[in-house]
Amino acid sequence: MAKCVRNLDKGLVQLTLPLTSLPTAGLPAGSLRRRDAVQEAFRAALDRSGLTREYVANELSRLTGDSISIHHINNWTAESKAAERRIPLDYLAALGLILGDAGILQAALPAGWLGLTPEGAAVYEYGRLAVEERRRGRKKRELLERINGGREGS
């Protein structure tokens, strides 16, 4: 018996969007290069922490389950190896916790974006709620004025 070949192609074509409609269209090439900023932030956080590179490597190994040596830490912080030795993104959270510094994560984010510690997130959430309460208060006053028909003083 001959095999029946079915043509599944329905002539569908993927449409492309004009580049001007993309959210990154206005950004210049290379504007999100964060490698140097991340490396500098890591060096600064390591210096401020007072922890040894060996301790950081051991703790990073323990937290991530990967084998991280002091040589990795040295390569990530060496200015001469900036182009070839990058800190993997999945280590940033662990490094932030170990060093007690969210600056490394902040350096990896584009301008205007925030990386918050749990305490910072609580402050942010509190502020967000305070702004919502103010908006609700204004809305309540407007509605009360409409209900009273402008007879505020009566």
Place of tokens 């030795």: 85
pLDDT 10s digits, 100-150: 988 898 898 887 788 777 888 899 999 999 999 999 999 999 999 999 886
Q: Do 95 and 129 fall into the same domain?
A: no
Q: Do 68 and 120 fall into the same domain?
A: no
Q: Do 41 and 103 fall into the same domain?
A: yes
In sequence order, what are the residues at sequence separation of 6 or more whose Cβ sits closer than 8 angstroms to the Cβ of residue 60? 66, 68, 73, 91, 94, 95, 98
Chain centroid to Cα 41, Å, comes to 15
pLDDT 10s digits, 49-93: 999 999 999 999 999 999 999 999 999 988 886 567 788 988 998
Gap between the Cα atoms of 5 and 7, Å rounded: 7
Q: Do 107 and 129 fall into the same domain?
A: no
State the pLDDT at residue 13. 67
State the pLDDT at residue 136. 95
- Using pLDDT thresholds of 50, 70 and 90, give the confidence band for residue 18: low
Quote the domain boundaries for residue 78: 33-112
Q: What is the pTM of this model?
A: 0.64
Gap between the Cα atoms of 138 and 89, Å rounded: 43
Query: Is residue 8 scored above 70 in pLDDT?
Result: no
| Residue 4 included in any domain | no
In sequence order, what are the residues at sequence separation of 6 or more whose Cβ sits closer than 8 angstroms to the Cβ of residue 148? 154
Q: Do 87 and 128 fall into the same domain?
A: no
Q: Do 86 and 100 fall into the same domain?
A: yes
State the pLDDT at residue 99. 94
Q: Do 105 and 75 fall into the same domain?
A: yes
Cα angle, residue 94 at apex, residues 89 and 95 outer, rounded to 5°: 80
Closest CA to 104 of 112, 96, 114, 116: 96
Q: Do 127 and 145 fall into the same domain?
A: yes
State the pLDDT at residue 119. 86
State the pLDDT at residue 82. 58
State the pLDDT at residue 85. 78
